[in-house]
């Protein structure tokens, strides 16, 4: 999730767990610890694909953060009297603050390596967009109330955490509903055993994007929970399977395939091989498209990887909002917008 969401989540968790008389200090500590794992963005791993796929790695691993929380707690208990007074509550505050960060990140499409150093593909539950105001706002309000009205602070933080957690629960229900719609639509198209990726469109959990990898092609469709009633229309695009097979010995290609669980496409532009992560963005614009190889004689050869700039258009957000309320044919939601 975005930095603001992680900051207010950390502050909320620490503020609820720590002793009430030290709630202000706990919120500051929680805000700092809530952003700590993302400092790995400052590390240069040597290339754009490397930076992309090693982010949310060791710094987001439960195997790293669990012992780190104990180490931080031990150090604070030794040097800071409040932690010695109620050490268990502070251990809960520190541990839960650190561990909720990667668990929240795992709800986005990017992917989080919760079990690093195990070579399992990153966890990507993809029930939340990376920025979702309806998740963040309850936490932000709770933190603001706790900062300026100390007596109501504990209750405000608790309410914020409950509402934001219920919103996550709703996102799972919504994704499950869209997944069922997608499976029904694919069955009617006689598409079987295809890999699905279901994720919300920007800033909401009402309009969902469905990506289906189907042998030579991938399909893209959208499902609005307000209007579509389960009917998903898919568009078909070339996957670039042949060129991906030709470049299977290129490290960056296989790394991206592993990182995205196979949701990648490839195209050739002026003898450069460009691989796009199909999970983030939508046709024809993807957030992460990398140059990964150059055409050799006769095989593809490794080159320093390069992240291509994304050409974002403001109208895309307006079209997304409009699509929530209108189906593919332009019909509006009954009694709605």
Residues 66 and 214 in one domain: no
Structural domain boundaries, residue 162: 3-113+124-169
Residue 145 above 80 pLDDT? yes
pLDDT at 312: 65
Residues 106 and 235 in one domain: no
- In-domain check, residue 14: yes
- In-domain check, residue 89: yes
Task: Output the six-digit token pair for 201.
Answer: 């469109």
Instruction: Give the pTM.
Output: 0.92
Residues 16 and 160 in one domain: yes
Dist CA 128 CA 172 (whole Å) = 9
Residues 157 and 289 in one domain: no
- In-domain check, residue 179: no
Residues 28 and 165 in one domain: yes
Question: Which pLDDT tens digit goes with each residue over 287-335?
Answer: 999 999 999 878 899 999 999 998 766 666 777 788 888 776 555 544 4
Residues 34 and 132 in one domain: yes
Decide if 262 contacts 197 (C-beta within 8 A).
no
pLDDT at 328: 65
Question: Which pLDDT tens digit goes with each residue over 259-295?
Answer: 999 999 999 999 999 999 999 999 889 999 999 999 9
- In-domain check, residue 331: no
Direct distance between the N- and C-terminal alpha carbons of the chain, in angstroms, rounded to an integer: 29
Average pLDDT over residues 83-95: 94
Residues 215 and 138 in one domain: no
Decide if 218 contacts 239 (C-beta within 8 A).
yes
- In-domain check, residue 294: yes
Q: Given strand 234-238, what is the order of strands in its sheet?
A: 195-200, 207-214, 217-224, 234-238
Residues 194 and 245 in one domain: yes
Residues with Cβ within 8 Å of 132's Cβ and at least 6 positions away in sequence, in order, are 1, 5, 167, 200, 203, 204, 205
Q: For residue 100, give the H/E element and its range.
A: helix 87-105
How many Cα atoms sit within 13 Å of 290 on the Cβ side? Answer: 26
Decide if 38 contacts 6 (C-beta within 8 A).
yes
What percent of the chain shows pLDDT beyond 90?
Answer: 82
Residues 109 and 143 in one domain: yes
Q: For residue 184, give the H/E element and its range.
A: helix 150-188
| Burial class of residue 45 in the structure, from the number of CB atoms within 10 Å of its CB (0-12 exposed, 13-18 middle, 19+ buried) | middle
Residues 65 and 141 in one domain: yes
Task: Output the six-digit token pair for 325.
Answer: 């309320």
Decide if 16 contacts 154 (C-beta within 8 A).
yes
Residues 220 and 279 in one domain: yes
Residues with Cβ within 8 Å of 57's Cβ and at least 6 positions away in sequence, in order, are 40, 113, 116
- In-domain check, residue 174: no
Residue 237 above 90 pLDDT? yes
Task: Output the six-digit token pair for 300.
Answer: 């593809």
In this structure, the chain runs to a length of 337
Q: Which of 51-60, 129-138, 155-164, 294-303 has the lowest mean pLDDT?
A: 294-303
Which one-letter DSSP state was computed for residue 6? H
Domain count, the chain: 2
pLDDT at 335: 40
pLDDT at 192: 82
Sign of CA dihedral 257, 111, 197, 236: negative
Residues 164 and 281 in one domain: no
Query: Hey, what long-range contacts does 316-323 have (CB within 8 A, 24 or more apart)?
Result: 316/285, 317/202, 317/203, 320/201, 320/202, 320/204, 320/207, 323/201, 323/207, 323/222, 323/224
- In-domain check, residue 224: yes
- In-domain check, residue 209: yes
Q: How high does pLDDT run on average in the chain?
A: 92
């Amino acid at each position: 999730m975005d930095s603001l969401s992680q900051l207010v989540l950390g502050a909320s968790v620490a503020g609820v767990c720590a002793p009430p008389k030290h709630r202000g200090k706990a919120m500051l500590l929680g805000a700092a610890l809530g952003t700590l794992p993302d400092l790995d963005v400052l590390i240069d791993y040597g290339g754009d694909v490397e930076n992309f796929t090693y982010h949310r790695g060791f710094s987001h691993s439960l195997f790293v953060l669990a012992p780190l929380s104990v180490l931080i707690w031990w150090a604070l208990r030794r040097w800071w009297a409040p932690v010695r007074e109620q050490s268990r509550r502070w251990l809960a505050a520190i541990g839960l603050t650190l561990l909720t960060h990667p668990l929240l990140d795992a709800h986005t499409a990017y992917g989080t390596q919760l079990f690093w150093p195990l070579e399992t593909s990153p966890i990507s539950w993809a029930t939340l967009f990376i920025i979702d105001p309806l998740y963040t706002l309850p936490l932000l309000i709770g933190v603001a109330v706790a900062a300026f009205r100390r007596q109501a602070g504990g209750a405000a933080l608790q309410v914020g955490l409950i509402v934001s957690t219920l919103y996550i629960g709703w996102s799972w229900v919504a994704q499950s509903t869209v997944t069922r719609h997608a499976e029904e639509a694919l069955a009617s198209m006689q598409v079987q055993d295809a890999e699905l990726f279901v994720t919300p469109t920007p800033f909401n959990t009402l309009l969902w994007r469905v990506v289906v990898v189907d042998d030579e092609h991938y399909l893209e469709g959208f499902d609005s929970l307000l209007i579509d009633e389960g009917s998903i229309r898919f568009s078909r695009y070339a996957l670039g399977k042949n060129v991906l097979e030709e470049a299977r010995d290129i490290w960056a290609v296989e790394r991206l395939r592993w990182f995205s669980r196979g949701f990648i496409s490839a195209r050739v532009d002026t003898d450069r091989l460009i691989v796009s992560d199909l999970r983030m963005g939508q046709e024809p614009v993807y957030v992460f498209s990398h140059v990964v190889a150059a055409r050799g004689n006769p095989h593809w050869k490794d080159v320093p990887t390069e992240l291509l700039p994304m050409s974002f258009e403001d109208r895309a957000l307006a079209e997304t909002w409009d699509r929530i309320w209108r189906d593919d044919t332009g019909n509006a939601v009954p009694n709605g917008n």
